[in-house]
Amino acid sequence: MKMSQSFVKTLRSAPKDETARSAQYLVRAGYIYKELAGVYDYLPLGLRVLEKIKNIVRDELNKIGCQEVQLSALQNPKLWEKTSRWDDQSVDIWFKTKLSTGGELGLAPTHEEPITNLMKTYLESYKDLPVYVYQFQTKFRNELRAKSGILRGREFLMKDLYSFSPDESTHQKFYHEVEQAYARIFKRVGLGAETFETFASGGIFSKYSHEYQTFLPVGEDTVYYNKDKSVVLNKEVLTDEVLSDLGVKREDLENTTAAEVANIFTLKYKYSEPLGLEFTSKSGERKTVYMGCYGIGISRVMGVIAEKFADEKGLVWPESVAPFKFYLIGIGEQGTKKAEEIYEKNPDLFLFDDRDARVGEKMADSELIGVSFRVVVSDKTLAEDSVELTERKNSEKKLLKIDEFLAKL
Amino acid sequence: MKMSQSFVKTLRSAPKDETARSAQYLVRAGYIYKELAGVYDYLPLGLRVLEKIKNIVRDELNKIGCQEVQLSALQNPKLWEKTSRWDDQSVDIWFKTKLSTGGELGLAPTHEEPITNLMKTYLESYKDLPVYVYQFQTKFRNELRAKSGILRGREFLMKDLYSFSPDESTHQKFYHEVEQAYARIFKRVGLGAETFETFASGGIFSKYSHEYQTFLPVGEDTVYYNKDKSVVLNKEVLTDEVLSDLGVKREDLENTTAAEVANIFTLKYKYSEPLGLEFTSKSGERKTVYMGCYGIGISRVMGVIAEKFADEKGLVWPESVAPFKFYLIGIGEQGTKKAEEIYEKNPDLFLFDDRDARVGEKMADSELIGVSFRVVVSDKTLAEDSVELTERKNSEKKLLKIDEFLAKL
C-alpha cells in the first residue's frame, strides 16, 4: 500500500476520552475511528489486522474439523424466552428494537439459542454427531461502561464456536482439542507467552469453565497464579474448596490484572434441553445433545496485542498480525527510486511511505504504526548496495544487501 | 468438502411461507437458514458463495483505487439529525434501540452520514482528493414486507462505496470508472447478459441516477427498454421529458420486471454540506466535497443468481460463484476408492458426496445444490480410465480420461 494513496492520516492526538494507550495509538495511527463509546470503525490498516487474526483462528479451527457459518444479528425473542434469557432482568445487556410490523427483536449478544435451534433441522441421529460449528460475527452488548477502546465494546467482533456431542466423553475429547487449538492460536498471534488457561466459574451447570487470560496492566479481571503459572484462577473462584480441588495453597499465589481474550465452556444440556435439541441414539432412544461453547474476542485480541506490546513510540505488532511486514522509506532521489522498484515487486508486503513529507516524520510514523520491520533505502545504503532494516520491537538495525533482501521476500 | 462431515443436510421441503423459487432451493439445498422473515443465516455453502461474490467485487474495486474499511452498525442519531434522516417520517425503515446509559441509537440502513463525518478527520486539502472508500457491511432495514428470501431482507449484506471529489469533472470521471467496474463485476458473477444500467430517479440533487437491473420474473421493479436494450429506464422516470432526454419513443419500448442489484448515485453536496465536509482548494478557498455513492446488494446478487438460473431440478451456479467447482460421486467399491483419491489431491475444488446414500439420492442432490460440474467415477468409467463429467447448466455429459481431468485441475 502506498501511503500517498491512503485516505487515512496519522493524527497528533486521540479523542480526549480515550484513556487506554492501545486505543490512543490505534486511533492516532489510523487503525480505528471512534463512532461512539464502545463503537469503532475499522480503517484499512485495522481491517488488515482483524483479517490476519481471523485467518489464524479459522485455520486452527478448520484443522480440528469445525465448519464456518454466519448467523444473523437480529434475533427472535421466542427462542430466547425458552431459555429465560430474553428478560432484561436475566440478561441485562440486550439491545432491543421493534419490528415495523409489530413485535420486538433483539440484537444478538451471543448465539447459543439460534445455533441450538438451527441444529434441530439437521441433527437426527447419533450418526450426525459430533459436529462443530463456528462463525465470526458482530456481537452487540449494551454495556453500562464501554471503555478502553476495543478492549470492551458495545459492538465487537467475536469468534464463537459451538460443539454438539452425543455424550460427555465425546465432548471432553473435543474440549481438549479446542484447548490445544487455542494454545496454538495465542502462540501464533503473539500472545502465547502471556496468555494462560484460567479456572473460572462454570455457572450452574459445570463446576468450572476455562478462560484465557492475558496478563495486562489495564485488564479488567484479577487472576491468581502460582509461580510457574501452571495454575491460574480467576478471583471469582478463589475459595478454599477450589484451592483444595486444584491442590494449591493461598499463600503460594500471586495476583495480577488480566484481560479475558477467550473462554471455553461446557454447557451440557443448558440450551439443548429447553430448546429440544435431541437425537436418536444407536439403541433407538431419544437423547438430548451435549453442548459446549468456545469464544474468542477477535477485536479484543487486536486491542490486547496493541496494548501489550506498545512502547513509548507507538504500536508494536507481532509479524503474524502486522498489517504489513515492512514499512518502506526511500531517502533522496536514488533511494526513492530504488524504494519504488522494491515496492512494485511485492506491493502487498510493504507499507510504502511515498508521501511528500520530512524523513523525521516518516520515521516517527513508522514507529507509531508499528509494522514489524522498517526498510530504509538511501544514498548511504545504496553505496553499499544495501537497505537498512530496523526491527520495530527491539530497534535492532542491520544493513542487508538488496539482492539478499529481495531473495528473502 | 466431504458431505459426510457436513452438519447440513438437503431438505425435502422449504418453509411454507417461502414463495420465491430461489429461496426454496437455497433453503432446501442447505445454503441458508431462515431465522425470521427477511433474516437469514448463511450455512457453509452459502457463505462460500457470498465470499466468492465479495472477492470479485473487491478485486474490481481495488483495481480502480478504492480502499476497504468497515464501519459500525450502531449509529449516532446526532449525525443523522444533521441531514434530517433520523426522523422516522423521512426515513421509515430505521431499526432503533436504546442505550442503557440513556439516549437512542440506530442500526445503519446505509452509511452516508458516518462516512462523510469520518472523512472530516482526514480530508484537509485538495491534495487529499479524490478518495474512494468502500465496505462490505450488514445493513438493517425495517421493511414492512420482507419476502422473496434473500432478494429483499431486513438484514442483508451490501457493498457500499463512497467517492469524495474536489469537483464535478473529477467525480464524473470516477463515476464512469465505476460504471465500467460494475459491468465487469456483473459479467464475472454470471449476470452480465441480463443486467442493464438503467435510468432512474436522481432524487432532488441529480436529474438521474443509475440502477443496475437484472431482468427477472420475480423482480419487484418494472423497467422499460428498447429492442436492443441500449436504453433501459425505470418505470418511475417514464415521462415525456425523460423520453425526450433519452431520445426514445414510448411506442418503441417494451417492459419487463427486474431486480435492482446495484445503483450508482451522484450525491453532489447532499451530505457533505450539512455535515460540513470541506477542503482547502489550490487557491486557498474552503470548498465543499463533491460526493457519489455506489451500492451492490451482495446477498441480493446471490439471490438473483439463484433465481435467474435455477431450473426444475434445483440451483445452477455460474462457475465463478459456485461454492465448489465439482460435485464428486464414486459408485461401487473401485469408483469410491478412486473418487477418494481424486478428492484428496484437491479437496477445495470438490464437494465430495461420500455419504452412505443411494446413488439416485446423490444424483438428485448434485442437481439441487447446483455445483457447476458433476464428476462420477464408477466401474463403467474406470473400464475406460475415465470419469464422467456432466455440466449442470446443460446436462451435457462426456467421458474424460482421468489423467487428462487431473491435469486440468
- Together in a domain, A278 and A339: no
- Together in a domain, A333 and A298: no
With CA atoms as reference, report the closest residue to B306 among B9, B21, B2: B21
The verdict on residue A317 lying in a domain is no
Measure the CA–CA gap between B135 and B133, rounded to whole angstroms. 7
User: Where do runs of H (alpha helix) occur along B93-167?
Assistant: 112-122
- Classify the phi-psi angles of B148: left when phi > 0, otherwise alpha if psi is within -120 to 50, otherwise beta: left
pLDDT at B19: 86
Give the rounded distance of the alpha carbon of B328 from its chain centre: 27
Q: Chain B contacts of A95, Cβ < 8 Å?
A: 74, 97-98, 105
Residue positions counted in chain A: 409
Q: How confident is the model at residue B204 (pLDDT cuts 50, 70, 90)?
A: low
- Given a contact cutoff of 8 angstroms between Cβ atoms, the answer to whether B105 and B263 are in contact is no
The verdict on residue A238 lying in a domain is yes
The interface residues of chain A toward chain B in range 230-259, judged by CB-CB distance below 8 A, are none
Q: Quick check: B140 and A65 CB within 8 A?
A: no
- Together in a domain, A298 and A355: no
- Together in a domain, B167 and B288: yes
The verdict on residue B316 lying in a domain is no
- Long-range contacts from A175-179, C-beta under 8 angstroms, 24+ separation: A175/A264, A175/A266, A175/A292, A177/A64, A178/A64, A178/A264, A178/A292, A178/A294, A179/A210, A179/A264
Residue B368 belongs to domain spanning: 326-408
Q: Quick check: A140 and B74 CB within 8 A?
A: yes
The verdict on residue B353 lying in a domain is yes
- Together in a domain, B239 and B120: yes
Minimal Cα–Cα distance from B253 to chain A, Å?
38
- Given a contact cutoff of 8 angstroms between Cβ atoms, the answer to whether A293 and A112 are in contact is yes
Q: Quick check: A114 and B41 CB within 8 A?
A: yes
Give the rounded distance of the alpha carbon of A401 from its chain centre: 37
Measure the CA–CA gap between B156 and B150, rounded to whole angstroms. 8
CATH number of the structural domain spanning residue B331:
3.40.50.800
Which among A96, A122, A128 has the least Cβ separation from residue B97?
Answer: A96
- Given a contact cutoff of 8 angstroms between Cβ atoms, the answer to whether A41 and B118 are in contact is yes
Q: Establish whether the linkage from the previous residue to B130 is cis, with ω within 30° of 0.
A: yes
Q: Chain B contacts of A119, Cβ < 8 Å?
A: 7
pLDDT at B205 over 70: no
pLDDT at B147: 75
Q: Chain A contacts of B5, Cβ < 8 Å?
A: 65, 67
Q: Quick check: B118 and A47 CB within 8 A?
A: no
The interface residues of chain A toward chain B in range 55-94, judged by CB-CB distance below 8 A, are 65, 67-76, 92-93
Global ipTM: 0.96
Minimal Cα–Cα distance from A394 to chain B, Å?
31
Residue with cell 526513492: A336
Pick from A243-247, A396-400, B263-267, B357-361: least confident: A243-247
pLDDT at B206 over 80: no
pLDDT tens per residue across span A205-245? 677 899 999 999 999 999 999 988 889 999 999 999 989 98
Q: What is the DSSP letter of A75?
A: E
Q: How confident is the model at residue B254 (pLDDT cuts 50, 70, 90)?
A: very high
- When computed from its CA atoms, the radius of gyration of chain A, rounded to whole angstroms, is 24
Q: How confident is the model at residue A87 (pLDDT cuts 50, 70, 90)?
A: very high
Measure the CA–CA gap between A221 and A64, rounded to whole angstroms. 30
- Together in a domain, A32 and A166: yes
Q: How far is CA A232 from CA A160, B201, B278, in A?
A: 23, 63, 54
- Together in a domain, A219 and A250: yes
- When computed from its CA atoms, the radius of gyration of chain B, rounded to whole angstroms, is 24
Rounded average pLDDT over B382-395: 96
Range B320-337 burial, b when 16+ CB lie within 10 A, else e: ebbbbbbbbbbbeeebee
CATH number of the structural domain spanning residue B80:
3.30.930.10
The verdict on residue A314 lying in a domain is no
- Given a contact cutoff of 8 angstroms between Cβ atoms, the answer to whether B382 and B32 are in contact is no
pLDDT at A14: 84
- Together in a domain, B302 and B335: no
Minimal Cα–Cα distance from A387 to chain B, Å?
29
Q: What angle do CA A276, A278, A283 make, to 5 degrees?
A: 150
Q: What angle do CA B198, B200, B201 make, to 5 degrees?
A: 170
With CA atoms as reference, report the closest residue to B370 among B328, B330, B313: B313
Which among A6, A39, A69 has the least Cβ separation from residue B47?
Answer: A69
Half-sphere exposure of A372 (CA within 13 A, CB side): 13
The interface residues of chain A toward chain B in range 143-162, judged by CB-CB distance below 8 A, are 143-144, 154-155
- Given a contact cutoff of 8 angstroms between Cβ atoms, the answer to whether B150 and B32 are in contact is yes
pLDDT at B201: 87
Give the rounded distance of the alpha carbon of B339 from its chain centre: 33
pLDDT at A214: 98
- Together in a domain, B302 and B364: no
Measure the CA–CA gap between A134 and A70, rounded to whole angstroms. 8
Q: Quick check: A39 and B70 CB within 8 A?
A: no
Q: Quick check: A73 and B9 CB within 8 A?
A: no
With CA atoms as reference, report the closest residue to A30 among A296, A295, A355: A355
pLDDT tens per residue across span B91-146? 999 999 999 999 999 999 999 999 999 999 999 999 999 999 999 999 999 999 88
The verdict on residue A320 lying in a domain is no
Total of domains in chain A: 2
Name beta bridge partners: A42. A32, B70
- Together in a domain, B34 and B158: yes
| Pairing, β A131-140 against β A67-68 | parallel
Minimal Cα–Cα distance from B298 to chain A, Å?
15
Q: Quick check: A72 and B41 CB within 8 A?
A: yes
Q: Quick check: A93 and B72 CB within 8 A?
A: no
Q: How confident is the model at residue A331 (pLDDT cuts 50, 70, 90)?
A: very high
Closest residue, chain A, to B118 (C-alpha): A33
Name beta bridge partners: B290. B165
The verdict on residue A315 lying in a domain is no
Q: Is B399 on the interface with A (CB under 8 A)?
A: no
Residue with cell 544487501: A401
Q: Quick check: A74 and B122 CB within 8 A?
A: no
- Given a contact cutoff of 8 angstroms between Cβ atoms, the answer to whether B14 and B24 are in contact is yes
- Together in a domain, A86 and A184: yes
Rounded average pLDDT over A194-215: 88
pTM for the full model? 0.97
pLDDT at A202: 80
The interface residues of chain A toward chain B in range 104-123, judged by CB-CB distance below 8 A, are 105, 107, 114, 118-119, 121-123
Strand residues in A269-402 grouped as ranges (E): 278-280, 286-288, 290-297, 326-330, 350-352, 373-377, 386-391, 397-401
- Together in a domain, B299 and B358: no
Half-sphere exposure of B389 (CA within 13 A, CB side): 16
Name beta bridge partners: A311. A314
Residue with cell 439491545: A95
Pairs across A and B, CB distance < 8 A: 138
Which among A41, A99, A105 has the least Cβ separation from residue B69?
Answer: A41
pLDDT at A128: 96
- Given a contact cutoff of 8 angstroms between Cβ atoms, the answer to whether A184 and A314 are in contact is no
Q: Which of B309, B336, B356 is the last residue of a domain?
A: B309
Measure the CA–CA gap between A162 and A131, rounded to whole angstroms. 8
pLDDT at A205: 63
Q: Quick check: B74 and A154 CB within 8 A?
A: yes
- Given a contact cutoff of 8 angstroms between Cβ atoms, the answer to whether A244 and A231 are in contact is no
- Given a contact cutoff of 8 angstroms between Cβ atoms, the answer to whether A165 and A171 are in contact is yes
The verdict on residue A321 lying in a domain is no
Mean pLDDT of the residues in chain A: 96
